[in-house]
Each structure stands twice: as C-alpha cells, then as structure tokens.
Amino acid sequence: MSTSGSERAVPYYCPFCASEDLWPAGEKHGEWECRACTRAFGLRFVGLVTRS
C-alpha cells in the first residue's frame, strides 16, 4: 500500500444499495459513485484501534 495518497482503496459494494457497479468519482481520494443507484459517496481511513 502506498503512503503517497495516489492509490484508492476500492470498496466492494455500495453502502446504499449493495451494488458492485462502483467507479471513482471526483478528484479527491476516496470519492466513489454507484452507477446502479446514482449516489456518490466518500470513504476515508480514520485510524487503527488499539485494544488492551
């Protein structure tokens, strides 16, 4: 995995309709569009959870 931010993490399905017809959308990292339900959404990595 690159730390430069140039690669996109690919979601497996749309969080709204569960379709797999997803395409990168917009210029920002993590923006996706679902062509089945015509919604656009963004994903971002928040961080790692530490468990004690």
Q: What is the pLDDT along the chain (52 residues), one digit of tens a residue?
A: 444 455 556 899 999 999 999 999 988 888 999 999 999 999 888 889 999 8
Task: Supply the pLDDT for residue 39.
Answer: 97
Task: Supply the pLDDT for residue 47.
Answer: 87
Task: Supply the pLDDT for residue 1.
Answer: 40
Cα 43 from Cα 52, distance rounded (Å)? 27
Please report the beta strands in the chain, taking only residues with DSSP state E, as ranges in sequence order.
Answer: 22-24, 31-34, 40-42
Tokens representing 41 are 């959404």
SS3 6: coil
45 neighbors 9 (Cβ within 8 angstroms):
yes
- Within 10 angstroms of residue 34's Cβ, the number of other Cβ atoms is 22
